Amino acid sequence: MEFLKWRAEDGVAIVTINRPPANALAQQLIRELDELMTEVEHNNDVRVVLLHGEGRFFSAGADIKEFTDVSSEQQAVNLAENGQAVFDRLESFPKPVIAAIHGAALGGGLELAMSCHIRYVAEDAKLGLPELNLGIIPGFGGTQRLPRYVGLAKAAEMIFTGEPISGAEAVQWGLANKAVPQEELLPQALELAKKIAKKSPVSLKAAIHALQYSKKSFEEGIKAEAEQFGIVFNSEDAKEGIQAFIEKRQPTFSGK
């Protein structure tokens, strides 16, 4: 892969966006992300994914130079739908995905971060959707995901003005889970990832599946939760977890 690299550590795939200077999301990078998800999903040694950026930024957004190659309305639709498909896959990925955001997550960079399950941010990071400054709108899910986290009014303000918020503000608004000094960002995010990696892969997958239904009706969500509860309850991991609790020891989950 040209723009993404990864390594495994204690059950965590540490994925680095490596396209200096701004880690702009070229179409090639998005294709690599799709390929990487396939690789990581089938790697039984990986239970959690930690995504971060090399250098000064998480990702400062899409590669604007590529926009000059888009010459028709249908090409623009295709561009948006391709990015949306990959980010939708990331959001429903069966292994937890944590974004560690420093510097800036702007435009497509924030849309990528919002597709992850958990976001840790540097306190002074900048998060925003500045697409209207270019005369366009967010196209990789930003208009749909941002209101889920910050509410419709704040999302409208951020999108209409294009002005970013800080990492600390992102936590206040519910867009990020935790804000820390930049030097502590990756260590703390990795600590969280390793803690989650000790859980049962079976139950993690089921929890992610059930959480996706929170976007739908309560009735659909409750039904999906019950179905997933039944699936995991019959797993070897559930038997191990319950027995370990009774025996007052740490469980050893096999992922079965």
Q: Which residues are catalytic?
A: 111, 131
Beta strands 178-180 and 97-101, pairing class: unpaired
Could you tell me the two tokens for 24?
A: 């702009």
Could you tell me the two tokens for 110?
A: 């924030």
CA neighbor of 101 nearest in space, from 19, 38, 167: 167
Beta strands 165-166 and 126-128, pairing class: antiparallel
**Cα first-last separation, the chain:** 31
Q: For tokens 């958990």, name the residue.
A: 118
CA distances to 95, 138, 190, 206, 209 from 226, rounded to whole Å, are: 20, 35, 31, 10, 11
Q: Using CA atoms, how far apart are residues 137 and 202, in angstroms rounded to an integer?
A: 38
Torsion of CA 73, 76, 77, 78, to 10 degrees: 120
